[in-house]
Amino acid sequence: MNLFASFNLAISRIMATKTRSILTMLGIVIGVASLVALMSVAQGATSGISNALSGLGAKQITVSGTSATGLVEDDVTALSMLPYVESTYSQVSGQGTASTGKVDVSLSLVGVSPNYASMALPKIAVGSFLPSSLPMQASRDVVLSAVAANDLNIKVEQIGQIIYINGQPFQLVGVLNDANGFGARGIAYVTQDAARKIFAQTPYVSSITLQSTTETDVAAVTTEADTLLRGRYGLSATDSAQFMVTSQTSLLSTLSTVQNTLKLMLGGIASISLIVGGIGIMNIMLVSVRERTREIGVRRAIGARQRQILVQFLIEAVVLSVLGGFIGLVLGELAAYFVAKAGGWAFTISAGTVGLALGFSALVGIVFGVVPARTASKLQPVEALRFE
Amino acid sequence: MSSVVSLSSVRREYTLGTNTTVALDDVTLDIAAGEFVAIIGPSGSGKSTMMNLIGCLDRPTRGLVSVAGYDVADLDDDALTSLRSQAIGFVFQQFQLLPRTSALDNVATPLLYQGVKQREARQRAEEILTMLGLSDRLDNDRTQLSGGQQQRVAIARALVTNPALVLADEPTGALDSTTGRQVMDLLKDLNRAGRTVVVITHDANVANYADRQIHLLDGRISSDQRTKVTA
Ligand SMILES: Nc1ncnc2c1ncn2[C@@H]1O[C@H](COP(=O)(O)OP(=O)(O)OP(=O)(O)O)[C@@H](O)[C@H]1O
Ligand SMILES: [Mg+2]
């Protein structure tokens, strides 16, 4: 009897006891569904995060002051001289108001140094970003975030016109495409020199961003920056400082720890349900062997070898569990699709996940099908034929 | 004349705990190719035990069983299965058709176990079922067939591998007398066509179809008579 015939036979047996087969598959369905959902979600989230980090973000280190007077302009100069630091920008920030004459809103004010445009790569919706050449640094230009522009009810034709920041006239040169979602506060970007004149006290800066030469230097630069600043402020390595040095890489490692815990938990659930599902299959196969003892006897009498009986029952167990695995795969991918939609990353079906789901369920079928199949194949023909 | 089956001083005991039942004792017997033999005896006399031994489904406790020239003691389970598959066709008392399986697939199954391709197996099964007048019942499973039809399917299944020996254990036991006669006529025809047929029965009328009657009593052969000389 070839595999194809055995396979057909297995399908017809499973169809003959539909309800029982479906109930038996349930454990495998749940196990594989959670396995697939877990893998897809983990992969989707990881690729989402690394997409966000790819590009310049991955090479950047941020030093932020924990108090308004935490960092000064000389710190920027000193940090920019560190080895492997390619470029630097700083920001000053505060609160203020913006007015078009008709509408007044309060918003965050940010004064950025010339390198901001090339390092943070702000996305422009209309107009342009602030000028970055040095003579223009004192220019009274302003760029609004999408939320601020919306709050001020800015129209495209207002680009180039005057709006008032803290009561002072500024020319609106551009609006960003940086939708931050509901409730986010608007931001007005001005040059740092202009900021010094209207809200920021010299020589303090709120944060400094460093860009390392390569991604592999990020860790070294992070440590060096911390050491340098501690030196400048006479702090030992254990003193609490008025600044914090962070990188997106360190953020990512925290995230991946969380992710690993999640994976472990879901993986635990998946493997327990797979084992429970496997035991269910073993149980139902043992019942089936008992019910079909006479049939096995007849088959042995008319020429079935022990191996052919063994393979027959094994195939039945594997078909049962792979069928369950397939249903679980579909449900799991469906769950992953909705999670991806909610999480805002791209949904993909990876060949690895599909292979693992079907492979695992086949393995469960083989492992838990062996005992019933062996029992069936070892039946003595005469006794099997006499069985009532 | 070559013997298809040969038993020599065969004993078969069944042990249940400390109890030992002797089902067959010191049985010596030769069945030649082309014979039509009836094994007859009361219930419990050892007929089924003998059929299991001749059919290579069981092994003797003592003595020698050889079928188609092979000493059963020399064969392992696989070889014994091969011998059954090649040389013996079984017809059981309760028909024993495979459940939820069409008449056609029932008859094709022995060929599939021999490794014959499904298409060819079905074709050969159809031929033989047609020969037995069941061409319009190919797709029916056992719940959709009468007793006589089931027994004819069972006979088709026994014949499809073209075995040298057809073994029938109470082939008419579950049939009414008319249908029973038809089945016996069929076995008689098979024998006339050159096949060796062994029928086990406790019914003298059935035994009368045979050319040779072997009577069993308490596990021993009490008489062995040829009613007709075989060619
Ligand atoms: N598997 C077994 N275990 C124990 N004893 C058995 C077994 N098979 C048969 N026997 C005993 O062996 C003896 C012969 O049994 P067997 O089945 O061969 O009789 P039989 O002639 O076929 O009877 P019947 O006409 O009722 O079918 C009986 O006493 C029976 O109880
Ligand atoms: Mg009997």
Query: Does residue B145 form part of some domain?
Result: yes
Mean pLDDT of chain B: 93
pLDDT in the model for residue A52: 60
Task: From residue B62, give the alpha-carbon distance in Å to each of A69, A89, B11, B13, B25.
Answer: 106, 100, 5, 9, 9
Separation between Cα atoms, residue B213 and residue B6, nearest integer Å: 16
Instruction: Give strand ranges (E) for chain B.
Output: 3-16, 19-32, 36-40, 62-67, 70-71, 88-91, 165-169, 196-201, 212-217, 220-226
pLDDT grade for A268, boundaries at 50, 70 and 90:
confident
pLDDT in the model for residue A147: 87
Q: B112 touching A, CB under 8 A?
A: yes
Instruction: Report the CATH number at residue B76.
Output: 3.40.50.300
Q: Amino acid identity of A150? A: N
Instruction: Test B92 with A385 for CB contact under 8 angstroms.
Output: yes
pLDDT in the model for residue A173: 93
Query: For residue B203, what is the DSSP state?
Result: -
Tell which wins on pLDDT, A347 or A354: A354
Tell which wins on pLDDT, A185 or B84: B84
> pLDDT tens for residues B13-57?
999 889 999 999 999 999 999 999 999 999 999 999 999 999 999
Query: Does residue B44 form part of some domain?
Result: yes
> pLDDT tens for residues A363-385?
999 999 999 999 999 999 999 99
- For ligand 1, atom 28, name the residue with the nearest CA: B44
> pLDDT tens for residues B197-227?
999 998 999 999 999 999 999 999 999 999 8
> pLDDT tens for residues A316-331?
999 999 999 999 999 9
Query: Does residue B52 form part of some domain?
Result: yes
pLDDT in the model for residue A67: 87
Contact residues for A39 (Cβ-Cβ < 8 A; gap 6+): A350, A352, A353, A356
pLDDT grade for A136, boundaries at 50, 70 and 90:
low
**Whether pLDDT at A5 is above 90:** no
pLDDT grade for A158, boundaries at 50, 70 and 90:
confident
The whole domain housing B80 covers 3-226
pLDDT in the model for residue A6: 85
Paired tokens of B111: 């060929």
Q: Which ligand is nearest to the CA of B45?
A: 1
Pocket test for ligand 1, best of B7, B20, B49 (most atoms within 8 A of CB): B49
**Whether pLDDT at A181 is above 60:** no
Measure B75 CA to nearest chain A CA, in Å: 13
pLDDT in the model for residue B229: 57
> pLDDT tens for residues B82-97?
999 999 999 988 889 9
pLDDT in the model for residue A350: 85
Q: B81 touching A, CB under 8 A?
A: yes
C-alpha closest to that of A193 among A130, A148, A121, A145: A130
Average pLDDT over residues A1-7: 80
SS3 assignment, position A203: coil
> pLDDT tens for residues A25-62?
998 999 999 888 888 877 776 666 666 665 557 788 89
Pocket test for ligand 1, best of B10, B14, B216, B218 (most atoms within 8 A of CB): B14
**Whether pLDDT at A180 is above 80:** no
Query: Does residue B191 form part of some domain?
Result: yes
Query: Does residue B83 form part of some domain?
Result: yes
pLDDT grade for A137, boundaries at 50, 70 and 90:
low
C-alpha closest to that of B206 among B36, B67, B68, B23: B36
pLDDT grade for B4, boundaries at 50, 70 and 90:
very high
What interface predicted TM-score (ipTM) does this complex get? Answer: 0.94
Mean pLDDT of chain A: 87
pLDDT grade for A265, boundaries at 50, 70 and 90:
confident
Average pLDDT over residues A157-174: 91
**Whether pLDDT at B177 is above 60:** yes
Number of domains composing chain B: 1
Instruction: Test A299 with B98 for CB contact under 8 angstroms.
Output: yes
> pLDDT tens for residues A233-264?
999 888 888 999 988 777 777 777 777 787 78
Q: Which ligand is nearest to the CA of B23?
A: 1
Shortest-distance atom of ligand 1 to CA B49: 18
Chain B residues lying within 8 Å of A385, measured CB to CB: 57, 92, 96
Query: Does residue B231 form part of some domain?
Result: no
Query: Does residue B194 form part of some domain?
Result: yes
